[in-house]
Amino acid sequence: MAWNGTGTDTEGAFRHPLSALTRLSERTPLRVKLIAALLTLVALALAVISFTSTAVFQRYLLNQADSQLRGLMTNAYSSLPSSQNPSALTNPSHDYSGPGYVVEALDPNGNPINHFGNLGRLTGSPPDLPTSTAWLNAHSGQPVTVPAQVGGDSWRVITESVPNVQVTYTTPSGQQQNEIVTATLVVGQQIGNIDGPIGYLSWLDLVVSLAIMLGLGVVSVAVVRTNLRPLDDIEETAEEIAAGHLDRRVPDRDPRTEVGRLGRSINTMLAQIESAFHDREESEGAAVQSEERMRRFIADASHELRTPLTAIRGFAEYYRQRGGVATGAGGAGPGGGGSLNPEDLDRIMQRVESEAARMGVLVEDLLLLARLDQQRPIEHRPVDLLVLAADAAQDTRMIAPDRPVQLTIQPGRAFIVLGDEARLRQVIGNLMANALTHTPDGTAVDIRLGTGLLSGTPPFPGAPVPSVPAAVLEIADQGQGLTPEQTRRVFERFYRADQARNRKSGGSGLGLAIVSALVAAHGGVATVDSAPGQGATFRVTLPLAPDTGEADEPGAEPQDDWASHPSASR
């Protein structure tokens, strides 16, 4: 196998030219291939045009020469000697002022009888005419082109068989004798004046074609470079994105063009990539935060569970150290500390029961949050939020009769949602318990129920945000309010605004976290609006059932949606 100095398989390239051309095409830049293809097509077109025009022009000149030949043939035919006109050959009765020509008569054996013509106009040697009988018979009556005897000139000749030609010849005895034979008349005309214009025209076509190719090459380079500039922009954009600039985009162009549609598709793809990258960053950040929250959750859960367990264990140890229940007044137990009387034992058992109940509630809350985290399905049955809100207001009036509780309902609407009634009652109950726990006695609590819109997730980046009709439940109090930091973290698990961890008044810190998780499980969202000294408004937004319409309330007139008021849209 032959290898050249650059390591190329030249033998393989010659053996498989198509594969070699394919590899060469794959390595050639697009602009070079476009310019080369354009110039190749133009060169082929110019070659075809030049060949066609030259052939047509040559055919035109030859047709003119053939017409003149036939005219000469007619005149020469009448000049041949015959039995009726034996002396015609020596006295031609015609003249011709065109290019040089010759007329020659041949006997049946191809021997010249005589010839004439305007030999003074010849610019070269006579034609090199074959005199064989076979050639003459084969080309009889058809104009043909033959070379000159000397030089590079050409002749156009035509032959014709002429009967009854008188031929004079000398016998072996020296006597002259006349004979009537069928002779061949040959008429020839110089066509050097045809070859000259044809050659000049071919040379002119070549020069003009080269000039056109040169000009077209310059113009095509500029045009291809200009039209491929968008691809260069795409390449530069891709390099910048690879360097980490994910916000870069391909310049917008007319979408009716291929480059415009390509740029639009690339920009859409880049937007999705950027969104996915940001989502990944947010997911990683959320994972870190989730891990941190999990650590804090475990620590807080351990602390919350350890407190009632410590109390229970303390009372049990106290009971054991005192030696059990006293059998008589002043009796001493094994521990030497005296036995417990029934009143002390009853108090200890009440404390143990209280701590165990509190621990049971905490465990139930933790189990509920764990189930919600696992996204276990919940019931989806029609639930009337108006009934739940009215029950919550009535329960609060019974539990805290000194609290002014007001229920405000938007008329003309039905507030039917799909969900788990028990869990939704728990949501409202937790919010009401939060309002009662964190506000002074006698502080008013308002429950408001209306409609609004719940924003969903767009189907793809840049798409309009979809909205669905929703029921909006608000529970507002006139307490001391929350700071921005507390407002941001109020729905976190085990978070309490009371950093002193007063469990008697502050709870375990899971109530609002359960509210947020339950509302999210129902496809809604829980938010809070608050400021220091201005109270707090907890808002729950749930999607209405698809078939929810106007409420069946006689005489009720639809009013403006209170949930769209600026104070309720934060």
Q: What's the pLDDT score for residue 562?
A: 44
CA-wise closest residue to 183 among 285, 105, 85, 76: 105
For range 76-99, the mean pLDDT: 49
Strand ranges (E), 237-396: 381-384
Which range is least confidently modeled, 119-123, 226-230, 262-266, 350-354? Answer: 119-123
> CA-CA distance, 242 to 251, in Å (whole number)?
17
Q: Is residue 90 predicted with pLDDT exceeding 80?
A: no
- The whole-chain average pLDDT of the chain stands at 75
Write out the DSSP string of 3-35.
Answer: B-TT--BHHHHHH-HHHHHHHHHHHS-HHHHHH
For range 281-306, the mean pLDDT: 74
Q: What's the pLDDT score for residue 72?
A: 75
Asked if 126 and 148 count as a contact pair (C-beta separation under 8 A), the reply is yes
CA-wise closest residue to 540 among 512, 559, 560: 512
DSSP, res 534: S
Q: What's the pLDDT score for residue 324?
A: 60
Q: Is residue 335 predicted with pLDDT exceeding 50?
A: no
Q: What's the pLDDT score for residue 565?
A: 35
Residue 156's beta-bridge partner residues?
A: 145, 189
Q: Which residue has the higher pLDDT, 4 or 570?
A: 4
Q: What's the pLDDT score for residue 549?
A: 64
Which residues are CB-neighbours of 284 under 8 A, at least 6 positions away? Answer: none
Q: Is residue 299 predicted with pLDDT exceeding 80?
A: no
- Taking phi over 0 as left and psi of -120 to 50 as alpha, with beta for the rest, 240 belongs to alpha
Task: Enumerate domains of the chain plus CATH numbers.
Answer: 14-227 (no CATH), 250-376 (1.10.287.130), 378-458+465-551+558-570 (3.30.565.10)
For range 109-122, the mean pLDDT: 59
Write out the DSSP string of 200-248.
Answer: HHHHHHHHHHHHHHHHHHHHHHHHHHHHTHHHHHHHHHHHHHHTT-TT-
Question: Is the Cα torsion angle 420, 422, 427, 428 positive or negative in sign?
Answer: positive
Which range is least confidently modeled, 207-211, 295-299, 558-562? Answer: 558-562
Would you place residue 286 in the very low, low, confident or very high pLDDT band (cuts 50, 70, 90)? confident
Q: What is the pLDDT of residues 133-146, one digit of tens each?
A: 777 777 788 888 88
Would you place residue 470 in the very low, low, confident or very high pLDDT band (cuts 50, 70, 90)? very high
